[in-house]
A and B are shown apart, each in its own frame.
Chain A
Amino acid sequence: MELNANAFPQAATIALQDVQLQTALARGTGNAYQARLRAMSEVTDADALRRQARAAKLRALQNLPELLERFEVNIAQRGATVLWAEDADACNRLVIDIARRHSVERVVKSKSMATEEIGLNHALESAGLSVVETDLGEYIVQLDGDTPSHIVMPIVHKTREQVRDLFAEKLGMTPSDDPEVLTAFARQKLREAFLSAEMGITGANFLIAETGTVVIVTNEGNGRMCSSLPPVHVVIAGIEKVIESVADFATLVQLLTRSATGQRLSSYVHLMSGPAAPDDPDGPSHVYVILLDNGRSRIRETDYAEALACIRCGACLNACPVYQNVGGHAYGWVYSGPIGAVITPLLNGVKNAAPLPYASSLCGACQAACPVMINIPDLLLRLRADLVEAGESSPALSAGIAAWARAMSSPRLYELGGAAARLATRALTAANGQVQRIPVPLLGNWTTNRDFPPFAAKSFRQLWRERQRGS
């Protein structure tokens, strides 16, 4: 997917004025946020479980090479082929090679962030393969030439009327805006795709090293279809997906679904450990698992390693006041919201996603929602520091911060600065008693979208002195 993160300020401005988007986002994030709170409030001990889940993921990150090898041995033993890919191009080439080897023409896909990240659909189509996304939301996004805007709710930005018009235009469906009717229509279309495809592609939510198992979590059942019906099943999984044991999986999968949609468990948790056994009555004849690095091993070497613990539940998106207002597209890449603001710069270079670390008020709602307690505010602050060190901060900001630092370390300068601000804001105060425009670079951004209250006529220190004198 094309990276457009540096356009965040402009994209966010447009999103804020989009009334339909604002309605959809309020409903989507609001519902998901409440559902998570309900689901997490009924567990034995939410914080202890989050610590347990976090420890499982961090432990796996430490022991990553051994766990990947163990996973590989265990699943290969049962006939799956494990392949490794350094980057997006290598991964896409592997999938195309597999398709050629098995004379594949039609591919069905289940939702996967990793395949969005590497632009797999585009690569497969360029190689002459037909690719159908089968998650309902992703199918709609694909038909519309759009991109998903949420990790778990890909079309949270769309209304039923938009889906009605899309199905009528692209599929010739008799218009209806009843989600039940729209879904039944899509079921028929997609069932045909499942039955005619020679290859199914899925991502993985977890790879269990202990048993060599790929875990695919879906509600619709499309993950099971893609991994059961076509003769060839290809799994594309980031290397950070591996976990140690079945015991770790028991905690993680339940926190994943509770955090993502508020469900105690998603409808289908599919644990797949290789192609159909010789005496299985159904199932794929060939299974390939591609372990994708694409920058992950480099991130693991840095102070940002914790970001790799993310299990892609989307809870931080729903909790974030910035995401709630601008939606996923404004972030300009595959991963949006608070975790996207961390991962996008890490995977693409901080200069290529410079506005994202600032797309946060650092309120901490993301960390509070995260089932593995990733310290997202801290990671965002460190990315801001990296931007300054890379010379990517505005000279006005640096000068301003330097002046502020001097003023804060001298009582006299502090008082003088206060007096100057008081005079300046009073001079700028408009008829409504507020400052409507600050004619100074950077500070002026404040008044683009809202007024600034003028400084009080007397400072606290002044009032204090007067009080002392009076008594």
Chain B
Amino acid sequence: MNAFVETAMLVVGFLLIIAGCYGLIRTYHLLKIVIGVEVAMKAVTMFIVLAGFINGKAALAQTFVITVIVIEVVVAVVAVGIAINLYNNYGSMDVRNLKKLKG
């Protein structure tokens, strides 16, 4: 039973990462890019929970997960802040505007 749960969590985690990266690649919208990477980040917290479940250190894993969630929120806030400033400068959320730095 345990082995089944572990494998299922691993597979679901990888699917979430792939879903996040697929969303990141397919969209041209700045906020949707942030959402995509956040989805992938959620999968990572799941891996940490799984690791704690397997090695029996669930308490340590929980402290890790809470710290990661806090960091993630801060990164998301900074990302959305930059996206809003880009919107103010360009008037659209299209990532194809970002073409000034090349070479």
The answer to whether A binds B is no
